[in-house]
Amino acid sequence: MKTLGRMRFVELEQFARFLEEHPGFSPLLEGEEAVVYGFQTGGCFLTLGEMGQLVGAEPRFDAQESAVLLAPTERRY
């Protein structure tokens, strides 16, 4: 994925879904036509290529990691 103007519809749809689920990613715009040249989340900058890899990546957890992440947490007041 080189530029937003050359993205296929499927790629654009994947980006839109990802950004809807992860609102902490902000597009970085350039020029009068507001061309997206990257994304920022926290202190990290991601190029369009890096975002494409992230969006297209399948989540991978092993069974133990998943159990820990999904386990209910105790609330202490």
Q: What is the pLDDT of residue 76?
A: 56
Which phi-psi region, left, alpha or beta, contains residue 34 (left: φ > 0; alpha: ψ -120 to 50)?
left
Kindly report the backbone phi and psi dihedral angles of residue 43, in degrees, each rounded to the nearest multiple of 5, phi listed first: -95, 10
How far is Cα of residue 60 from the mean position of the Cα atoms in its chain? 15
Residue 44 amino acid letter: C
Q: Is 72 helix (H, G, I), strand (E, B) or coil?
A: coil
| Alpha-carbon distance values, 49 to 1, 33, 34, 35, 65 (Å) | 6, 20, 18, 15, 28
The residue extents of the domains of the chain are: 4-70
3-50 pLDDT tens trace? 445 667 777 888 888 888 888 888 899 888 888 888 998 888 999 888
